[in-house]
Structure 1
Amino acid sequence: MSVTQDVHDGLHADEGALPGEHPGRHPDPVIKVHDIAWLEFDKPDLVRTAAFAVDFGFTPTLQTSEELHLRGALAGAPCVIVRRARRTAFTGVAFRAGDRADLTTIAGAWGRAVEPLDEALGGHGVTTRDPSGCRVRVVADVTEWPALPLQTVRAPFNFEGARNRANATQRPPRAPAVVERLGHVVLQSDRYLEALNWYLRHLGLIVSDFLYYPGQRDRGPVMSFIRCDRGTAPSDHHTLAMTLGPANRYVHSAYQVSDLDALAAGGEYLVNRGYDRSWGIGRHIQGSQIFDYWRDPDGFLVEHFTDGDHFDHSITPGWAPMTASGLNQWGPPATADFLGVKPGRAALREFTSILTSLRESDNEFDVHRLLGLLKVARS
């Protein structure tokens, strides 16, 4: 029997669970997915999308008038799939099964068929929708692209007592930060707890950290950072993050780069190319990643990150209040754009969603949750 650890108690930002709080895992999940595989989007202009993707650090593996596949430098399948459509939309997420047999197991649980994927992807998949309506796919045996050259390692760092670089300089180029892989996706749901429990039960994901609205801990969490359960093998602190909100929508996705130099110099390159930084550079608390957030030409929020935490299955969930000031250990304050309160179409859509959600009774976003969310924005 495994022994769980609490690495959170006594830290500056979070603590362990109280008696009776959500355990953060299902005792007998249907399967345990191994990792996130890719994200899927619809966009009207694939030429513009590809141009930003290359500047952001992706490498296209398929580029036609109807479809665009983008990969990272590590060996594996494409991590982003974009299809041409009249309207811009996030259309779903795929997870990689531990083995082919898991597809049969999850297909039986979902009442769905195991189907072959497109020729460009290879392998097979099973597709359904989560309680929020997000399309979820579990895949296996997809085509693995060989690794590409990674970002050039810089000269050694000099520290007092460890001066490893002499008669040499540090000159990281202002070039695209090479995306290595997809790290995680963050989704908002008006059925947050129902959706969270669905992922824990069906895909075997486990919670690394919970957040709750200040003063509302007794009502339960409103955000969770969720990782894959690989047993004693560590996995990313979060592969999926979910948060309660008035609408079901994509929030952001994150892509790993090699180090701070790559992230910062790559950010300078994006600035010079005229793209909009949303928030950064800083270091998060939950997950510890060094981050830099950007808006792509269609308004989607995407993140470069490096140096994230890795937990094995022994780590129990941390609990912390959700505050704007508690989103980072260092760096600039969270921006209005990142928090979704910057005046504009996105904020107007969110406000409209709030009114709709409050009028309806079949969701978890009520007046008390709205007050909690407003308190977070003011914090």
Structure 2
Amino acid sequence: MTWAVSHRRRMAAEPEPTVPESDFAAADFAADVQAGLSGQPKTLPSKYFYDAAGSALFEQICELPEYYPTRTELALLQSQAEVIAGTIGPDAELIEFGAGALRKVRLLLDALQSPRAYLPIDISGAHLAAQAETLARDYPDLAIMPIAADYTAALSMPPAAAGSRRRVGFFPGSTIGNFTPPEALGFLCHVAQILKGGNPAGAPPAGLLIGVDLVKAPEILHAAYNDAAGVTAAFNRNLLRRINDELGGDFDLDRFAHYAFYQPRLQRIEMHLVSLAAQTVRIGGERYGFAEGESIHTENSYKYTPDGFRRLARQAGFQPTALWCDPQKLFSLHWLTLPA
């Protein structure tokens, strides 16, 4: 996914009232698939992993013994919640970019001082609505306003209330690693503009709490993305199943193999689907040829050093302040503030 492609997605307010929003989402999906499979090398945007089935598979991945990021980040949030909340300060309007199962944000909400509102943003509208409804029952005094949208695109945000309410971003899970470094810089600049838009004069600084996966031994990374149970492989191939179901494709999932490896020069995991034979796939009225061994590049997951990520944050206008890491230096949480 390039920053330019993700920016072409429409805001929810743009479609004509007579056209369902889901039709525009399907059109975007079809256009992105057509563009990705027509190029060389072939690619598919990783944001389309997360339909209902994909989201459920990812939740399974997070429980795997090989997959360290989720449990490590959860442990960090659990052990440092009070310190993190004190660093963030009171009266925050919390905006989560890419809200999933909402487990992590509960730890933050429980520790924050008088949070004023919670705005989860996620591309999977049905999944988001169900999670937000559950959260609303558990936090009846908190204003919860889910936003079904692509959080990398232009967003129509509700205005922050007057007084001490201010915007604080939450971007856990090291999803920042799915962007190339130039895309990550563009995204952080985008987030900075959203957060600045709700910070009243005289309030503590707006900021972003972000999870960042760290550079580490390649064998740890390889195991995390090639689990013995094959759940990550199923998650990767589910993208082809989604194309079949939603766009009329005829991918034979058994003829594509999951392939993930660490590229040390670029400090990233690459995920691919490799064609096991010469074949032609039809999607709607289009045909796409695959040579044996040809791959579809479906995801990158960049890893950072703490200093490397701080440099990136500064380029986007943030001021890195607090940093929390686990004892094994597998994962990090950064608190980044914005100038008033």
Q: Report the TM-score when normalising by structure 1.
A: 0.27
- Structure with greater strand percent: 1
